[in-house]
A = this chain, B = another copy of it.
Amino acid sequence: MDPVRVGILGLGTVGGGTVSLLRRNAEPLKRRLGRALEVTRVAVKDPSKPRPVDLEGIEVGTDAESICTDPNIDIVIELVGGVDNAEPLVRKALEHGKPVVTANKALLAERGNELFRFAGEQGVDLAFEAAVAGGIPIIKALREGLAGNRIESVHAIANGTANYMLSRMRTEGMEFAGALQEAQDLGYAELDPTFDVDGIDAAHKLALVAAVAFGAPINYEALHIEGIRSITREDILYADELGYRIKLLAITKNGPGGIELRVHPTLVPQDTMLASVEGVFNAVQVVGDAVGPTLYYGPGAGADPTASAVVGDLVDVARTLGAPPEYRVPYLGFRADGMQEPRWAPVEEVETEYYLRMQAQDQPGVLAQVTRILSEEGISIEAIRQKEPRPGDTDVPVVLVTHTTKERAMRKAVAAIDGLDVINGPSQLIRLEEVDAV
């Protein structure tokens, strides 16, 4: 049979990795598919730029749009990134009946609903495994492997840069700024690290994961997002003493107030699989009503791992090229007419445990005042520790962990505590998740 002709938009890290991988593994890929996968065109910004990838036999140009409309291209891989750049190209390809494989989490988090609808109207695929957790086939697991389940919760370490920084803060005793500098020096973090350290990248991924987990429209707006800038070495140390690690988690969960969508630093018990994920690795813990807790672990970024996800999608899409849509897996696992808008839980209605670090004046009665406020809000305390003051400091750090309580009550209590004369606020509040017995 004729080869499947692939056009790639963008030849950065992932694009280069994809071209290399398709060449290197052409033989086993053909054994899988019965047809060759052949990159025939790529679009780049600067064709004269030297690239560490063999482009022989590939037409290299600057006109991305012409690839999307080229009748000799069967499948388009979108790797240009960005939202406003990428959207018209993806639309153009879909409009011309070409399935699209993309790694663009921002695009789908923000415009995915419209794009999936349009792809459905055109009757072609729009695949995005590479947009979430790099090489870990987590979209496929949620969308197909666990299709028998009602998903109860997903807890993901979805940003390798933030995880690397938190690992280094713990093992090397670094503060945030030092860990960030190191991550930048190593090329893990961008010069503008906002997407990684402020939780935005993890949030984009979570928006997609939640849609696939719950058969709900993508709702990036409903997300509560906090990054790791406020986490101190001290918090990591105290968490450690209490038996926890601090991780930037992306969490979606069918909670008492509806579907929760939140990205924030989180204490997780040290003896869980999630806690043991160190460095730039990603991991996704999924609890289903039938399967119970499962976990998926691997490299969350990088040329080769992301190319692995792109090519996995490419094989799926190529296999069903021209097939009636009903034979294909729906984009988000649920059919368009089976998607349901859930109640999205406001963060105030989230129920979880909390770690609270206060700076207290070293005088009698402080703990009594703090515990009275918590008790008035119906919050019970699981553990409380008074720490040594830091050298030259008159304040005494007091750290406590609560039992499960509602965010609204907790916030009210912290505001009251920070209003006490004997507390030098603002206190540090970090959520704590038991993440099941995994």
Residues of chain A whose beta carbon lies under 8 Å from any beta carbon of chain B:
17, 21, 24-25, 28-34, 129, 135-137, 140-141, 144-150, 215, 273, 276, 288-299, 302, 304-305, 307-312, 314-316, 319-320, 323, 326-327, 329-330, 333-335, 337-340, 438
Contacts and interface: CB of A to CB of B under 8 A. Distances in A.
Contacts of A308: 146, 148-149, 288, 290-291
A271 B131 CA distance: 29
A145 B149 contact: no
A21 B148 CA distance: 7
A384 B197 CA distance: 45
A349 B330 CA distance: 46
A298 B294 contact: yes
A59 B312 CA distance: 41
Nearest to A129: B145
Nearest to A214: B28
B315 A148 contact: yes
B316 A135 contact: no
B315 A290 contact: no
Nearest to A137: B145
Nearest to A324: B323
Contacts of A28: 150, 215, 334
A145 to B, nearest CB: 3
Contacts of A307: 148, 290
A323 B29 CA distance: 22
Stoichiometry (number of copies):
2
A173 B215 CA distance: 47
A25 B137 contact: no
A223 to B, nearest CB: 23
Contacts of A298: 291-295
A291 to B, nearest CB: 4
A319 B329 contact: yes
B330 A323 contact: no
16 contacts: A21-B148, A25-B289, A32-B330, A32-B338, A135-B292, A141-B141, A141-B145, A148-B308, A148-B310, A291-B304, A292-B298, A293-B298, A294-B299, A319-B327, A319-B329, A327-B327
A333 B315 CA distance: 11
A290 B326 contact: no
Given A32-B330, A215-B28, A290 B311 contact: yes
Contact of A141 (B25, B137, B215, B305): B137
A34 B141 contact: no
Nearest to A145: B137
Contact of A32 (B145, B319, B323, B334): B334
Contacts of A129: 145
B215 A32 contact: yes
Nearest to A322: B327
A147 B273 contact: no
B140 A333 contact: no
Interface centre among A28, A307, A311 (most CB of B within 10 A): A28
Given A273-B276, A320-B327, A333-B32, A311 B141 contact: no
A438 to B, nearest CB: 8
